[in-house]
Amino acid sequence: MRLKFLMDFLYIMVALMVFVFPLSADGFFFGAGTAAGQGSISDTRAFTFLHHGGFNGFRDEVYWSQVEKAPGNFALPSHLRSLDAMIFGAGDRMIKPLVILNYGNPIYGGGLPQSSEAVAAFCRYAQFVAGRYKGKVKYYEIWNEWNSGMGSWPKEPGSAEAYDRLVRACVPKIKQVDPDVKVLIGSTAGYDRRWTEELLQKGTMAVADGFSVHPYVFEHHADRTPEKAVSFLMSLSSQISIHKKPVEIIVSEIGWPTSTDAYGIPEDLQASYMSRFLLYAKAIPGVKGISVHCLVDAGDNPANREHRFGLVRRDLSPKPSLAAINSIADVLKHGSAVEMSSPESDIRYLKFVMPNSEEVVALWSNSPTPVTIGTKTSGVKKDVLAQQSSVLSENMSHRVEVGPAPLLIRGKLGAISVSLSGIEAIGSPPMPPKIVSVKE
């Protein structure tokens, strides 16, 4: 297992040479699933919580079966008014929508569209949606978790071959209507290396703008940590880089449920896990956006994991995750990663440079560990979980303890040094991100 990880880590180093990314991180998509397409939230309430989380995007869906009730007749049902208002009002709020085109239509047999008739009909539906929202949507995503058979009943995995046919037929139709929109493909349930490789080998990425993935680990009882999800994402980045074509990777779903069943974790731990994943994923080559799942809890059963992924509870009170995410939102949207430790390190360390020449260091560890922070000028230390901040005086060494929740250190560029049990990372590091070794 460790050898496999090291191989993936070496591939990441190759990826750093294959991909050429600008220092500016403006344009990074940072969103949350809103479920307005399911009638679960009003546009006003969704925008309020998106603002409180520091998000600049959202992910939602327009079901095919809801907009085409009779062959060739397209219309939005009344319960999609909130989603419609969100998409049309997003630009004024500097928010970018990601819209999923998904699920079957019983008019054409339901389930995964695989026949020629169903594929052609799906393309017409996609054109209708793209035409209505021309210039308003940043990304369209073709289907949701096709590889697992989501949207089919009984549920059967969808083949890469059938998905390739759908993508090749549909993407040009969308681009005819809205040439500037970006189309994502994949949207895989988990990191499905074999299915993804089949798609890459078919050359499907040649017609798309990006690849989306849902690297969930909450079902991996042996290791449900965010670092495990990061290792999946790093493997995907290296897998795609081998095919030489620079591709945007969008994590269009990630989360940990706070349910009372065997898959749930405490709310404080959800906040730590979400923050850790988001910071690490931001530093991985090719990752250009993340949408967390989801904004508000989806149901009232505390023992149902699907009802408890939200950052906000059913009574509309925020979980700790919302404030924790807001604490790092500016780093995700505008920061550029310049140093990172391996996710397998005892102490996790990341350094970002901000457009205002500020640098931000993020630190955490599995168990309480002392770390020495040096500051040439004054800085600010903040625990993203406790939401406690303190000023670090200039020209001093500060002994602090890091634990499972990320600790952020902010200061002027080159002013922060971090001593990790005798190993130091000081000053202005090279670009692109340098991999540093950190041992306890």
Nearest 10 degrees: CA dihedral of 281, 166, 159, 211? -10
Q: Nearest 5 degrees, angle CA 353-CA 357-CA 360?
A: 40
Give yes or no for a contact between 130 and 177, defined as CB atoms under 8 angstroms apart: yes
pLDDT in tens, the chain (440 residues): 444 444 444 434 333 332 323 333 448 999 999 999 998 899 999 999 999 999 999 999 999 999 999 999 999 999 999 999 999 999 999 999 999 999 999 999 999 999 999 999 999 999 999 999 999 999 999 999 999 999 999 999 999 999 999 999 999 999 999 999 999 999 999 999 999 999 999 999 999 999 999 999 999 878 999 999 999 999 999 999 888 677 899 999 999 999 999 999 999 999 999 999 999 999 998 999 999 999 999 999 999 999 999 999 999 999 999 999 999 999 999 999 999 988 888 899 999 999 999 999 999 998 899 999 998 888 999 999 999 999 999 998 999 999 999 999 999 988 888 886 534 343 333 334 554 544 43
Q: Which residue has the tokens 């040094």?
A: 417
Cα–Cα nearest to 328, from 372, 277, 373, 268: 277
Q: Mind listing the pLDDT tens digit for each residue in 352-365?
A: 999 999 999 999 99
| CA–centroid distance for 391 within its chain | 31
pTM: predicted TM-score of the whole model, two decimal places: 0.91
- Tokens for 156? 């059967």
Cβ neighbours, 10 Å, residue 344: 14
Query: Helices (DSSP H) in 19-80: which residue ranges?
Result: 43-53, 64-67
Q: Is the peptide bond before 179 cis (omega within 30 degrees of 0)?
A: no
Compute CA 47 distance to the chain's CA centroid, rounded to the nearest angstrom: 19
Query: How far is Cα 25 from Cα 328, in angstroms, rounded to an integer?
Result: 14
- Give yes or no on whether 2-334 and 340-436 have one common fold: no
SS3 label, residue 34: coil
The alpha carbon of 3 is separated from its chain's Cα centroid by a whole number of angstroms, namely: 27
pLDDT digits (tens, 9 = 90+) for 60-104: 999 999 999 999 999 999 999 999 999 999 999 999 999 999 999
Strands 73-74 and 68-70, sheet pairing: antiparallel
pLDDT tens profile 193-244: 999 999 999 999 999 999 999 999 999 878 999 999 999 999 999 999 888 6
Q: Which fold has domain 340-436?
A: Jelly Rolls (2.60.120)
What sign has the CA pseudo-torsion 429, 234, 51, 322?
negative
Beta-bridge mates of residue 62: 101
Residues 6+ apart with CB under 8 A from 148: 155, 157, 158, 188, 189, 190
Closest-CA residue to 350 (of 435, 235, 254, 422): 435
Alpha helices by DSSP H, 68-203 = 81-89, 116-132, 160-177, 193-201
Please check whether the domain covering 2-334 is classified as CATH 3.20.20.80. Answer: yes
Q: Do residues 433 and 16 make contact, with C-beta atoms less than 8 angstroms apart?
A: yes
Determine the length of the chain. 440
Decide the pairing of beta strands 388-392 and 379-383.
Answer: antiparallel
Instruction: Please answer whether residues 60 and 100 qualify as being in contact, where contact means their C-beta atoms are separated by less than 8 angstroms.
Output: yes
Domain borders along the chain are: 2-334, 340-436
